[in-house]
Each structure stands twice: as structure tokens, then as C-alpha cells.
Amino acid sequence: MSAGLLVAVLLASALLEGSGWAGGVGDGNLRLSVTVNGRADSDVRPPEVRVGTWVVKRYRLLNVSEADLHRVRVLDPGAPAGSVRCPAVLPAAEEAECTARFRAVAGRHVHPVRAEGDVPALRTRLTATARAGYAGVAGALGLTEEVVVATPGTGGGGASAIVTYTVTNRGNLPLYTVRVEDPGLALAPGAPDCGGRGGTVAVLAPDTSAFCRTTVRLRPGTYRSAGRASGSDRATTLGTGGERVTAPVLTAGASAVFVVREAPVAPVPRTPAPGAPAAGSSAGAAGASAGAGAAPAPGAPGALARTDTGTGTGTGTGTDAAGRPAAPAAPGAGAAPGAVPPGAVPPGAVPPSSVSPGAVPPAPPPGLRRAAGVDDEGFLGRVRRRGREAAEFGVATTLLLLLIPAAVAAALLGSRRK
């Protein structure tokens, strides 16, 4: 009987253990709580952690069963994969802690967390869940700059350079009292104009930008601008142990290299010498130079007298030393400078040498005036005169053509009557 009672007790114990609650192994035997940077109610009030700083999550597991848990693990979507560390075994009626340490990222990260442990002898798995997370906060300051150099004016000297600084809040908290300066250009405090405020942006909301500009006068050369921006989001955050951390001063920098060119020198106006032709008289000067190359008319003032070699005859021809005919002598050849050669003055005209300086020469006869006018009438005058002469010649020719046939006809009629 005692042997049978023992077997019955063993069978009942095995059945109760397989049911999941006998022996204290079943649902609810594993419990989980999570703290984030020292805060236990992170599911309701997620702690604010500055972006880029450390987040420390502590997962407290309590095994209230009467069986050891193996392959203990924590599944947390709010932690990077592989960052959670747990003990391999959680003994029965004991507790253990899993931890995760990683850098905070911007935004709210509150997720359900799941803890698991296996009981190999019973082929069962115990689980527990909780919610936990944090809020990554920060105002992230960014700075860029652009330089535009004006075209240098004439007269030497440098030029103006317009430098534009663009400050941007890339974070998720407002930035306050953002100050812009440029030690590279040695700007005075408050020199950049930031929307009416000297070198300062009062409030810069998340995902917005502001512009600050300054104009500097620089001598020719190469320059390097070194913009600097600073500000604060005034947010107090929690450290890894739950301590309060004050907001740091946020900074950003940018630089640009630019060149200021040498200004062109203004041209000096040139004053023409007395008696020199004006700049616009190039055509007249060219014509004068062309005319200067032509030989003056025989007998004209300044004309060079021509001297022929050989002896001349009364006909104007001669022979040189070799017996060849010499070129005919030009009119007035061999005459003294300024002398009027024979035959150069028309009949009735007064030679220039016979008129004393300052005296008014007598008027030439009409025929000579007409000849002088013909010589000085030019090309167009000659064309008009030739046209008039052709018209007069045409009338005379017409009369002759009419009278000659009439005379011939009359002669023929007279000869027939005889």
C-alpha cells in the first residue's frame, strides 16, 4: 500500500507539473519593469535626453516560478539591435537585470518591451511585457555663408564684399539669442544685420532659417571669411543616472575664400598739341597725306625744278651722252624757283610775279575768267558743261540733217528740169 501510494503521488505530481501551474511554473511567473535614465514611469513621462548623448535602459526581470529560465532575452524596438545584454540563466525565485546603452536620436521613442525565458524540461516559455522609452531633444544649429564681391571701380583701390550668413535650426527645439560673428574678417560686434537686429536672431524655430548680412570694404587681395554662430535651446535634460543636465551653448561654423581684384586705372585724357588735327579729322589728315605725296604742278610755289642731262634743241628733244634721245623737258625746266616759265601764262593774264604783295591784281578778261572757271569747275561741273554742249550740238546736228537732204533734193530737181 505504501508503494502504491508513492506511485500515485509521483503521478499526480507529474500531472500537476505538466499542467503549468503545479510547481509554480506558468503565465505570470515572469515579471518585467524598465527604467530609462533613472525614470521608472517612462511610459507616461518619457525622459528628455539630449540628442547624441547616452540613453541607459535597465530591464528588471523577476522569476517567481520554481523553475530556472534559460535563454533569457529582451526585445525592445526602441533600442538598436544587439544593444540589450541579459544573463543567460535566470534562476527560480530570483531577479536579474538586462541593460542597453546607446546614443539618443531625435524624436519620441516609446515602445512595448517584451522579456522571454525558456523552461527546457517542460518545453515552455515564460514572457512579460512593459512600455518604456525616451524623447530625444535638441536644437541643432547650422551655418553657411556666401560672399559676393562687387566689380571694382576705376581709379584704383579695393572693392566692396557682401557676406551673407544663413543660420538654420535643424533640431526639434527653438533656439534663442542666436549670435553671428566673423573673426576672419574682424567684424565689429553686432556688425551683421540679422533682420534689423545687430548680429542676433532672437528666436529661431525648428526647421527654419534666418539671414544675416554685412558689407565690408577691402583692399585687393585674398581673404578668408570665418563665420561663427552660437545659441541655446534652453532645455534641461536627464543624464544616464537621472541627474539634470543644463542646456549647452550650441555652435556652428562656416568659411569662404574670396578674392578682391585690383581696380583698373582710369585713363588720362590726352590734350592735343597746338595746331595738331583733332581726333575726328583722321579722314582729312589721310587725304592731306595722300595729296602731299603728289608732285606739285609745274611753276607752282614749292615745286621742284627738273634738270635734264644732255643738250636740248629748239624742238624740245635731245640726246644724252650715249647718243640716245633725251626725254622732252617739262615746261619751265631750268627756271629759277618761283619763276614763271614761258607759255605758262595764258595770253592776257597777269603773271604772279608781276603783282606786288598786298596789291589787288586787275580782273582778267571774260574769256580768261571762263577758262579759269573751266579749270576749276571740278568733275561734276565738267559733266554738266558737257551735257549742255551735247544738247547744243544735238540741235545743230538736227538742223543739218534736215537742211542737207532738202538741198540735195533741190539740186536733183533742178538738174532734171534742165
Q: Which residue has the cell 519620441?
A: 108
pLDDT digits (tens, 9 = 90+) for 43-99: 999 999 999 999 999 999 999 999 999 999 999 999 999 999 999 999 999 999 999
How far from 65 is each of 24, 89, 318, CA to CA, in Å? 5, 13, 156
Q: What is the mean pLDDT of residues 326-341?
A: 47
Highest mean pLDDT among 144-158, 164-178, 367-381: 164-178
- Give pLDDT, residue 313: 37
- Give pLDDT, residue 383: 61
93 or 366, greater pLDDT: 93
Which of these ranges, 84-98, 103-117, 254-268, 316-330, has the smallest mean pLDDT? 316-330
Please report, for the chain, the start and end positions of each structural domain, with discontinuous segments joined by +: 23-137, 141-260
> pTM score, two decimals?
0.54
Q: What is the mean pLDDT of residues 5-25?
A: 44
Three-state secondary-structure class, residue 394: helix
How far from 391 is each of 263, 380, 383, 388, 395, CA to CA, in Å? 72, 17, 12, 5, 7
196 confidence band (pLDDT: 50, 70, 90) = confident
Question: In the predicted model, is pLDDT for residue 270 greater than 90?
Answer: no
Which of these ranges, 63-67, 355-359, 408-412, has the smallest mean pLDDT? 355-359
Q: Which residues on adjacent β-strands are paired with residue 118?
A: 70, 125
Question: In the predicted model, is pLDDT for residue 230 greater than 60?
Answer: yes
Question: In the predicted model, is pLDDT for residue 382 greater than 60?
Answer: yes
CATH tag, 23-137 = 2.60.40.10
Question: In the predicted model, is pLDDT for residue 173 greater than 50?
Answer: yes
Burial of 186 (0-12, 13-18, 19+ CB in 10 A): exposed
**Could you give phi then psi for residue 144, rounded to 5 degrees?**
-135, 160
- Give pLDDT, residue 153: 63
141-260 and 23-137 share a CATH fold: yes
18 confidence band (pLDDT: 50, 70, 90) = very low
Q: Which residues on adjacent β-strands are paired with residue 225?
A: 256
Burial of 72 (0-12, 13-18, 19+ CB in 10 A): buried
Residues 363, 355: Cα–Cα separation, whole Å: 12
> Do residues 117 and 88 touch, judged by C-beta distance below 8 A?
no
CATH architecture of the domain formed by 141-260: Sandwich (2.60)
Which of these ranges, 42-46, 217-221, 356-360, has the smallest mean pLDDT? 356-360
Which of these ranges, 18-22, 188-192, 195-199, has the smallest mean pLDDT? 18-22
- Give pLDDT, residue 403: 77
Mean per-residue pLDDT over the chain, rounded: 76
Rounded to 10°, the helix 378-417/366-376 angle is: 120
Burial of 55 (0-12, 13-18, 19+ CB in 10 A): buried
- Give pLDDT, residue 142: 97
Query: What is the strand order of the sheet 221-232 is part of?
Result: 200-204, 175-181, 221-232, 250-260
